[in-house]
A and B are shown apart, each in its own frame.
Chain A
């Protein structure tokens, strides 16, 4: 449904994206991976028109590159940026109200997933914990119907228990809307993603089934710079044995 072709972008004179090409299926979660600073966030921002870029990006065949951000979002591309960007000076209720762009926003879904957003409606969003802010950021998305969600590191800086909660919510959401997910926590990727796209040196270095990537410790290490220990914390226990078997060849 999302088709990115030869996407190229410069930031301050350096060529960050040098022809990124990949696609996102109409269902499930596609993980966008890569080492720190490789350009994952920049890719999302380029798709959304926040970063000037060349190449071609289409959503269901419609070209989107060069259209203003607010139009794309109205057309159904929901975005949660890396640092969440809730409005600190606005209350939780105001943050949600601001995000409503349809006459009948789906508060029921939002409040059933995150009951706390109802009880904390009047609290200033700046005083929420990181996890609660992430609930606001995801809640903002779910108020409106979307065709595709672009979510940048939703579990960054969250406690393990909150990571599990956010992951569970995203798994539910992904049953209805496809998600392009940037995520460093490979256990979360393993749980959610069907497909993975790995960026390196401004290009797509690998893409395929997420399980094929994460099941192969050498590949994971060389592409993402983390070893099989990086898979720990709740990752499936067959990962080390599988990788050692492959290492024997």
Chain B
């Protein structure tokens, strides 16, 4: 029982991380049709910014402030990438892919040049290293932190999409961008916003991923991005709730199969799950809708 609870909460923690990355990726793809391979870079920027600030701040509020700084850096880089690199290339998908892939490679190289290729120890606060007893299992607090943050982010994103003007524009734009313009709305401003939101969430994933993995390294973003892409496809492009379901499914599947099967089998099962979903529901769990 204890093992199952621990595995489940660890899987959910991993799923929470995937969700933070995938929800932004999904909105960006759903609205702007951009396959953003630089999304992993946003994560690394958030992780390194938090690491940098966390090493300089102290006291009980040091780490939360560092995380906020990481999130802000992720948002800024996300918004800037849209304005400077993506905006001139709308309707040119091949060039977009090349630019975002190039950017992510250059970003990894820059991080290596600045802080070396080796993992850096992360300034996690003490309490995240401790455990909490849940249903007979000693669950590390970092997993509970991830799950809690992801739930808050999910609720916040859904409220934003549902109750704000920009949320309305994004949901409509995911469905039919041209018609949003035909209503007199400058839909490209929503693109920048969605990139910034995606950057902020990826930055948050980077900041909390550092706690989860105990360190930051330049390649972390790229390896997490692969699973985030799988989550986006399973969940349905543009769907935040779809991403949430898919992230939970992928995280749990990976943990349980890796524990009970051989190590690495979980990753194969995730790819198998992707194939099955694509066969049964080619548009993903949620279809194309920003909910």
Q: Which residues of A are in contact with B by a Cβ distance under 8 Å?
A: 48, 50, 68-70, 73-74, 79, 81, 85, 87-90, 94, 97-99, 101, 140, 144
Contacts and interface: CB of A to CB of B under 8 A. Distances in A.
B168 A50 contact: no
A79 B179 CA distance: 9
Given A87-B176, A89-B289, A99 B171 contact: no
Q: Which of A68, A70, A99 has the most CB of B within 10 A?
A: A70
Nearest to A76: B184
Most chain B C-beta atoms within 10 Å of own C-beta, residue among A73, A97, A98, A140: A98
Contacts of A79: 182
Contacts of B184: 70, 73-74, 99, 101, 144
A98 B172 contact: yes
B33 interface: no
A70 B186 contact: yes
A128 to B, nearest CB: 15
B110 interface: no
Contacts of A98: 168-169, 172, 180, 183, 185
Interface in B161-192: 168-169, 171-172, 175-176, 178-187
B291 interface: yes
A99 B183 contact: yes
B182 A69 contact: yes
B171 A89 contact: yes
A69 B171 contact: no
Contact of A85 (B176, B289, B290): B176
Contacts of B169: 98
B183 A140 contact: yes
The 3 A-B residue pairs with the shortest CB-CB distance in the complex, in nearest-first order: A73-B184, A85-B179, A69-B181
Contacts of B185: 70, 98, 101
A97 B172 CA distance: 11
Given A87-B176, A97-B168, 20 more contacts: A50-B181, A69-B181, A69-B182, A70-B181, A70-B183, A70-B184, A70-B185, A70-B187, A73-B184, A79-B182, A85-B176, A85-B178, A87-B171, A87-B179, A89-B289, A89-B290, A90-B168, A98-B168, A98-B185, A101-B183
B176 A50 contact: no
A1 B272 CA distance: 61
Contacts of A85: 176, 178-179, 182
Interface in B127-183: 168-169, 171-172, 175-176, 178-183
Contacts of A74: 184
Contacts of B175: 87-90
